[in-house]
Amino acid sequence: MTVPGAVLRGALLLVGAVLVVTLGARHLAPLPDLVLVVVASAALRAGPRAGLLTGLAGGWLLDLLPPGSAVLGTQALLYAVCGFAVGLARRPGRVSLVWVVAVIAVAGCGLEAVRALLALAQGVPVDVGSSLGRVLATATVGLLLVPLFNVVERHAEHRRFA
């Protein structure tokens, strides 16, 4: 990963996290997980290590932005593991959009399952329909944004600075 690529991923994570928190405060549903889309894009493009680091950074952003996390670092750990797992699903060369959507949907299901377990452990009710809607919205947004992110990142990495 090059410096321009890392800066671009950081900016995308920041925009995604702020949008998720802002739109979530307005109780829009189903709200796609934009941070997961950026993490999955990085992991599918550059592998498990980049996915882990991008997931860790994105999770920290979600932990620190209000309302934050009940236990600091929970989201960072979840997104890091998710980024690593998505990176293991990386395929060399061109991949179909069906594969991208499937990987993002499975990652979203895993995140929602762990979040549901954490909520149940704290005695908070879980809305399964809302969770499934969030996974579907995330996969749909991933279908649209992951190819765009890959093109923009490829352009940023190959651009020569004079």
CA distance 18 to 131: 20
Asked whether the predicted pLDDT for residue 107 surpasses 80, the reply is yes
Say how many C-beta atoms besides its own lie within 10 A of residue 152's C-beta: 15
Which of 106, 42, 115 minimizes the C-alpha distance to 74? Answer: 115
Which of 46, 121, 119, 53 minimizes the C-alpha distance to 87? Answer: 46
Domain ranges of the chain: 3-158
Name the CATH topology of 3-158: Arp2/3 complex 21 kDa subunit ARPC3 (1.10.1760)
> Token pair for residue 31?
């709200």
Instruction: List the single range of 24-28, 75-79, 104-108, 141-145 with lowest mean pLDDT.
Output: 24-28
Q: What's the confidence (pLDDT) of residue 106?
A: 97
162 pLDDT band, cuts 50/70/90, is: very low
- Summarize pLDDT for 5-33 with one digit per residue, the tens: 888 999 999 999 999 999 988 988 899 99
- Summarize pLDDT for 124-136 with one digit per residue, the tens: 999 999 999 999 9
Q: What's the confidence (pLDDT) of residue 139?
A: 96
- Summarize pLDDT for 49-100 with one digit per residue, the tens: 999 999 999 999 999 998 888 788 999 999 999 999 999 999 988 889 999 9
Q: What's the confidence (pLDDT) of residue 157?
A: 77
The whole-model pTM stands at 0.92
Max CA separation in the chain (angstroms): 57
160 pLDDT band, cuts 50/70/90, is: low
Q: What's the confidence (pLDDT) of residue 161?
A: 52
Which of 32, 38, 48, 33 minimizes the C-alpha distance to 5? Answer: 38
